Structure 1
Amino acid sequence: MVNFKLYENFIESIAVVLSKALTNDEREKIAKNFQSFNERLRQLSSDNLKRIKQEAEIKRPYCKHKLTCTQSCIRSFLKSFCTTYILKYALGFIPTLMTGKIFRNPRLILLLGGRDTTQLSLFLSSFTFLYKVLLCSLRRIFVSNDWKISFIAGLVASTSLAIDRNDTRRLMIALYLSTRNLHFISRHLWRIHVEPRWDPNDDSQNEVKEEKTKPKYLISSPRIPGEVRKYGEEINPFSFEFSSKIPKSLETKDSKKVETVVTTRKLDNKIDIIRKFVRKCAAVSLMMISSGQIAYGFVLHPETLNSSYFSFLLLHGNFKKKEPLRAKNYLNAWTNVITNIATNNLSPLYNEYKIPPELKEFKENLGMTKSGMLMCSLQHGNHYYCSGGALSIFKSEILRAVALYAPLNFFMTVVFKIDKFVKDPKNTLLIVTKSILRSTLFLASYVTVAFSSVCYFRRIFGGDKIWMYYVNGFLAGSTVLLEAPGRRLELALYCFPRALESFFNCGVKKGWFRNIKNGELIYFGLSMATMMTLYQHDPESIHDGYR
C-alpha cells in the first residue's frame, strides 16, 4: 500500500505541473490515460499475486530451494552463464594485459569474449538448467527423491557438453571430471563401508573396542607358566595382568562416561591416521603412475599428448631453451634415436665422426661426455659429467617454476583470500612465499629426476631401453612428496587425465583400442550422472570446492 500511495502522489505532482500549460480537453485526455495505465498496473499486480499463490500451493516436498522451481531454474541458468563468462574472459584478459599484447592488438578485447567463451558459458549454464528442470520435474511426477531421479537428470543434462565445439577442451573436461568422479566414489565407499567398522556406536563391536580402550586398573593375578593370550602372544609367568574391566565396586556413571570418551577419541584418531595414510599413498601412487605414462608418451609418442600440455612439457623440459624455433623437431630427433638404439638399429655410443642422420641438424648440441653415450651427448653435450647436466637442468627449471607459480599464487590469493590479506598482509605474504618456494622445489626436482635418472640407467644397462622412460616417470612422480600434503592429490588428479589420454592414444596407435567419434560424451554422461547422484544423496563424499 505504501508503494501505491507514493506512486499516486508522484502522478498527482506531474498532473499539477502539466495543468499549468495544458487546456481543459488535454488535461482530461491525460487524466484518462493515467487512470487506464494505473488500472493496468493494478491488474498485473493482482494476476502476479494469484500466480504466486497458486505456485506456492504446489507440493514440492523434495525440492530444497526457497524460490519456485521455475524461478530457481532460470536464475541458475543466468548465474552460471554470467559467472563462467566473466571468469573465462578474466583468465584470458589478465595474461594479455600483463604481457602487453592487448596494447599491441586492441581487437583482443572483443575476441576474448567471442564464440569460444560464449560456447563454454552456454555449456555450463545449459547443464545446470537442464539438470534442475529434470530433477524438479521428475520429483514432482514420481513424488519421490530416489537416487534414480538424480542419475537420470545428470545423465540427460550431460548431453549439453555437445554445445562446446572445442574438441580438445571438451575431451579434457570429460577426462578431468571422470577422474574426479573416481575420487568422489572412493570417498563415498570409504564413508559407507570403511568408517562404520570403527564406529564407536556399533553395538556389535563394543566389547572389542572397550577392551582395547578402557582405562587400565592395576589388578594382580597369578599366571600359569606357558599360558598363551587370546591373540597368540605368550605371557611371562612372572608378569602381572592389567585388567581392562572395571570392578563393580568402583564402577560409577562418571567412569562410564570417561570410557566412552576415551573410546571415541582413540577410534577417531585411528580413523584419521588410516585416512591420512591412504590419502598420502593414493596421491603419490597416482602421481607416479600418471608421470610414468606422461614421460613415456612425451619422449616416444609425443603426438599422443594434448597440444597445449605438450607445449608446456617442451618448455619445462628445456627443449625450447635449446632450440627455441625447432623444439618439436629436436624432440622428434630424440624419439628416433632412442627408438633405433632400443631396437639395436643404432649404436648407443657417441662417435663424433659418425653422427646419425637424425642429429646432423642438431650437431651443435652434441658433445663428449664421460659416459660416452650418444643420448647423453645429445641431452647435456655442454657438460662432461651427467651430474653437471642434472644441476644445469635444476637451475634453469627453478627460474621457470618461479615464473609459473609466483603469478599463480598471488592471483589466487588476491581472488580467494583477499580478506586474509587485508587483515594480516605480513603472514599472508609469508604463507604465499613458502607455497611458491615449495612448489618451485617440487617442479624443479620433478624435471631433474625425469631426465637425469635415464643417464644413470644408460650407464648401468649399456644404452637406452624403452622401459627406462616409464621408470624415470615413476621416480619423478615420487617428488610430489615435496609438495604440501593438501596439494598432492590435486596434482595427481591434474596429471591423471593427461596420462589417460596419452595411454588411450598409444593404444589406438598400436591397434589395442578403437577411436570413437564424440566418445567422450559417453563417459562424461556416466560420470556426471554418478556425481550428481552423490551430490544429492551423499554430499559429504564430494570435495567442498565442488559443492
Structure 2
Amino acid sequence: MDNAWENFLEAIAGLLSMALTNKETEKVIAGFNNFQQRLQRLSSHNLAKLNLEITAQKKRVSKCKHEGKTCSQNVTRGFFKTWMIAYVVKYLIGVLPAVLTGKAFKNPAIFKKSGGSDTVGFAFFLSSFLSAYKAVLCTMRYYRPQHEGDRLNAFVAGSVAGLTLLLDKNKSRRTALTLYLFTRSIQFGSSYSMKKWAEHREAKRSTQRLALRDAVHSSGKEHALVTKSGWDDILAKVMSSSAATVLMSLTAAVNLYSCVIEPDAMPKSYWNFLMQHSGLPQKFGPMFQPLLDTFRSQYVTLRELPGGMENIGIPAGVTSKDFVSTNISPNIATLYPSNLHHDFQLCALLHPLTPCSGHSMDVITGEFGRAVKMYGTLNFIVTLVFQHKKLATQPKEVARRYIKSTLRSCLFLTVYVWAAFYTPCVMRRIFKRERTFMYLLNGLLAGLAVLIEAPGRQMELALYCLPRALETTWKLMLKRGLVRNIPNGDIALFCASMGVMMTIYQNDPSVINNHYLTVLTRVFGRN
C-alpha cells in the first residue's frame, strides 16, 4: 500500500513540475512528502485501532454458544418462546384433569378460568426468568472477555434471574418452586463435590504409585504396583450407596411425625396424600378429623405420664368402647364394636375397628390396592408417552417391564405405609410408654422401604420427599421459636439455588444426570 501511495504522488509531482519553477516545484514536492507521511501515520493508526476493535469484539463474543443468533436475538426469542410454551403447558395442566374427569363439560367456565391471570402471570414470570438469565450471562461475558471459565458469570446470571420470582404472586407456588430447586441444587452440588473428591483420591493414588515404582526401581526387585483403597475410598463408596436410603429415612421421619402429631406444620396437599394412603379418611368419613384430633390430644396427655400399662393401656376385661366412652370421648366411642379390646389407648384411637394384628393386615391389603391404582395409571401414561415406538416393535418386553415396575413400586409404597402406621403399635409393646421418638422411629424404618425400588428411582423418591420435609422442619422450628421467618427469604434461597445450578450446568454438566440435563438443555438452550 505504501508503494502505491508513493507512485501516485510521484506521478502528480512529475506533472506539476512541468508547469512550475524549480523553487515552486521543490515546495510542492516537500508539501506532498509531508502529506504522504501524515497519511501513512493516520492510516497505520486507524488500521491498528480497527484491528484491535475487531479482535476485542471476537474475544467478547467467543464465550457465547448461541450460534446463528446475536445476544439480543437470543434473549428476545427466548422470552417469547418461553412465554408461549409456559402458557400452553400451564393451561393444559389446569384443563386436562377436568376434561378427563368430565368436570369441564359440566362447567365450561373451567376452560376460561384455566387460561386466566394466574396462567398469564406464571408464563410471564418464567419467560422473564429465562430471558433475564440469558441477558445477564451475555452481559457478564461481554464485560469480562479476558476471564477464563464461566463460573462467576453463570452464578451471577442465575442469581440475578432468580429475582424474577417476585413476579409470581402465588406464594405457595413460589415456596414449592424454591424448595424444589433448592433440593436440586443440593443434588447437583453434592455430585460435583463427589466428583472432585474422586479426582483428588485418584491423584493421590497416582502419586503413591509413582513413589512405589521409584522404590521398586531403586531396589531392583520385581513388585506389583498396587495401591490399596484408603479409608476415604471406602467412605465414598458407602456414602454413594447409602445416600438415597439415609435421605429417604430422614425425610420420612420428619414427614410422618408431623403427619400424625403436628399436621399443621405440614403442607396440606402432602398431608392429604399421606392420609389417603393410610386408609383412615375412607373408613371413618366425617368422623376422621375428630378421631385424629382426639388421638393427638390423648398423645399429649400420655406423653407426660410415666411409663407403664396402668398409664397408657386399657385394663383387661374392659372393652375399648367402654373405656373411650368413659375416659376420652363418648362421641368417638360410637365408632367401636361392642366386644373389641385394645391393649393400648392410642392403638384404640388409631385403628378403632380392629386389633393391632388386624390393623396390620388391613393396611397391607388396603394400601396395595390403592398403590396399584396410582402406579398402574402413572406407569401406563409414562409407557405410552416415552415408549410408544418400542411398544409397537416389542410389546411383550414393554408389557413385562411395565408389570415389573408397577408391582415393585406398589410393594415399596405398601411397605412404607405399613411401617409408618404399624411401627407405633410395636413400639408401645416394647417400651410401654408414649414418647416422641416412637413417631420418628417409624419414619426411619419406613424409609428403608425405598430399597425395594429400582436403584435409579431411589434417589428420585428421596428428593421428592425432601422439599416437604424441609418445609415441615422449618415450620416445626418456627413453632418452637428456634428460627424466624425472613422477609423474602424464599427469593434469596431461590436466587442462591439458581446460581449454584446454573454454575454447574454451564461448567460441569457431566455431574447432572442425563434426564435433568436434557430438561435443562431444552429449557435454557445453549448460551
TM category, shorter:
0.7 to 0.9
- Closer, same or farther in 2 for the Cα pair 1:311/1:208, shift >3 Å? farther
CA distance in 1, matches of 2:358, 2:193: 48
Whether the 8 Å contact between 1:284 and 1:488 is mirrored in structure 2 is yes
Change (3 A) 1:343 1:366: farther
- Percent identical among aligned pairs is 35
* 1:281 counterpart = 2:284: no
Secondary structure, aligned partner of 1:344: coil
> Does residue 372 of the first structure (1) align with residue 375 of the second (2)?
no
SS in 1 for 2:324: coil
**2:291 maps to 1:330:** yes
Paired position in structure 2 for 1:489: 459
Find the partner of 1:480 among 426, 450, 453. 450
Pairing partner for 2:103 from 101, 114, 130: 101
Listed one character per residue, the Cα deviations across residues 492-519 of structure 1 (whole Å, up to 9, x for unaligned) are: 1111111111111011111111122331
Contact 1:369 1:377 in 2 (8 A): no
Query: Does residue 111 of structure 2 align to residue 140 of structure 1?
Result: no
Shift of 1:455: 0.4
Structure 2 letter corresponding to 1:388 = G
Q: Distance in 2 between matches of 1:280 and 1:85?
A: 40
Query: Which residue of 2 is the match for residue 40 of structure 1?
Result: none
SS in 2 for 1:355: helix
Secondary structure at the aligned position of 2:286 is classed as coil
Larger radius of gyration: 2
Structure 1 match to 2:90: 88
The Cα of 1:59 is off from its aligned counterpart by: 4.7
Alpha-carbon distance between aligned partners in 1 of 2:313 and 2:382, rounded to the nearest angstrom: 49
Give the equivalent residue in structure 1 for 2:312: 348
The Cα RMSD (Å) is: 3.0
SS at match of 1:513: coil
- Say if 1:319 and 1:331, in contact at 8 Å, map to a contact too: no
**Structure-2 residue corresponding to 1:117:** 119
- Is residue 2:154 matched to residue 1:150? yes
Counterpart code for 2:297: N
Aligned residue runs from structure 1 range 38-437, under 5 A:
59-66=60-67, 67-143=69-145, 144=147, 145-198=149-202, 203-207=206-210, 244-245=223-224, 277-344=238-305, 347-350=311-314, 352-355=321-324, 359-366=329-336, 372-384=343-355, 386-437=356-407
Deviation at 1:418, TM superposition (A): 2.7
1:382 partner letter: L
Contact 1:168 1:306 in 2 (8 A): no
Equivalent residue number for residue 545 of structure 1: 515
Q: Secondary structure at the match of 1:381?
A: coil
Distance (whole Å) between structure 2 residues aligned to residue 404 and residue 209 of structure 1: 58
Instruction: Quote the Cα distance in structure 1 between the aligned partners of 2:465 and 2:66.
Output: 36
Which residue identity does 1:184 align to in structure 2?
F
Local SS of the residue matching 2:334? helix
Cα gap change, 1:339/1:122 in structure 2, threshold over 3 Å: closer, same or farther?
same
Q: In the alignment, what sits opposite 2:476?
A: 506
SS at 1:520 equivalent: helix
Provide the residue aligned with 1:229 in structure 2. Answer: none
Alignment CA distance shift 1:407-1:160 (3 Å): same
CA–CA separation in structure 2 for the residues paired with 1:423 and 1:164 = 45
Report the Cα offset of residue 90 of structure 1.
Answer: 2.8
- Any conservation in 2 of the 1:293–1:470 contact (CA below 8 Å)? yes
Shift of 1:199: 5.6
Shift of 1:474: 0.5
Tell me how far 1:71 sits from its aligned partner. 1.6
Amino acid at match of 2:429: R
Task: Show the 5 A alignment for 1:439-478.
Answer: 439-478=409-448
Deviations 1:163-190 (A, max 9, x none): 2222112111111111111111111111
Give the distance between the partners of 1:209 and 1:382, measured in 2 at CA: 71
The code of the aligned residue for 1:431 comes to R
How far apart, in 1, do the equivalents of 2:512 and 2:84 lie?
Answer: 24
Residue 57 of structure 1 and its aligned partner are, at CA, apart by: 7.6
8 A Cα contact 1:401 1:440, kept in partner: yes
Aligned 8 A contact 2:294 2:349 in 1: no
Task: Tell me the amino acid that sits aligned with residue 60 of structure 1.
Answer: V
Mean Cα deviation higher: 81-90 or 402-411: 81-90
Call closer, same or farther: CA 1:309–1:210 in 2, change over 3 Å: farther
CA 1:81–1:544: 2 relative to 1, 3 Å = farther
Structure 1 residue 413: Cα displacement = 2.2
Deviations for 1:373-414, whole angstroms, at most 9, x for unmatched residues? 111122223223x22211101111111111211221122222
Partner Cα distance (2:197, 2:431) in 1: 47
User: Which one has a larger percent helix, Structure 1 or Structure 2?
Assistant: 2
Is the 1:373–1:463 Cα contact (8 Å) retained in structure 2?
no
Moved more, 95-104 or 438-447: 95-104
After superposing the two structures, state which structure 1 stretch, 70-79 or 320-329, moved more. Answer: 320-329
Question: 1-side partners of 2:391 and 2:134: how far apart?
Answer: 37
Q: Distance in 2 between matches of 1:87 and 1:78?
A: 14
Shift of 1:274: 7.8
- Contact persistence 1:369–1:376 (CA under 8 A): no
Distance 1:363 1:162 in 2: 50
What TM-score, normalized to structure 1? 0.74
Local SS of the residue matching 2:239: helix
Do 2:302 and 2:311's aligned partners in 1 also have CA atoms closer than 8 Å? Answer: yes
Aligned length: 442
In 2 relative to 1, CA 359–396 (structure 1 residues): closer, same or farther, beyond 3 Å?
Answer: farther
CA distance in 2, matches of 1:510, 1:310: 21
CA distance in 2, matches of 1:518, 1:433: 46
Moved more, 486-495 or 396-405: 396-405
Give the deviation of 1:105 after TM superposition.
1.4
Residues 150 and 506, structure 2, Cα contact 8 Å, conserved in 1: no
Aligned letter for 1:204?
Answer: T
TM-score by length of 2: 0.77
Distance of 1:88 and 1:279 partners within structure 2 = 36
Structure 2: distance between partners of 1:84 and 1:414: 23
1:279 maps to a residue whose letter is: S
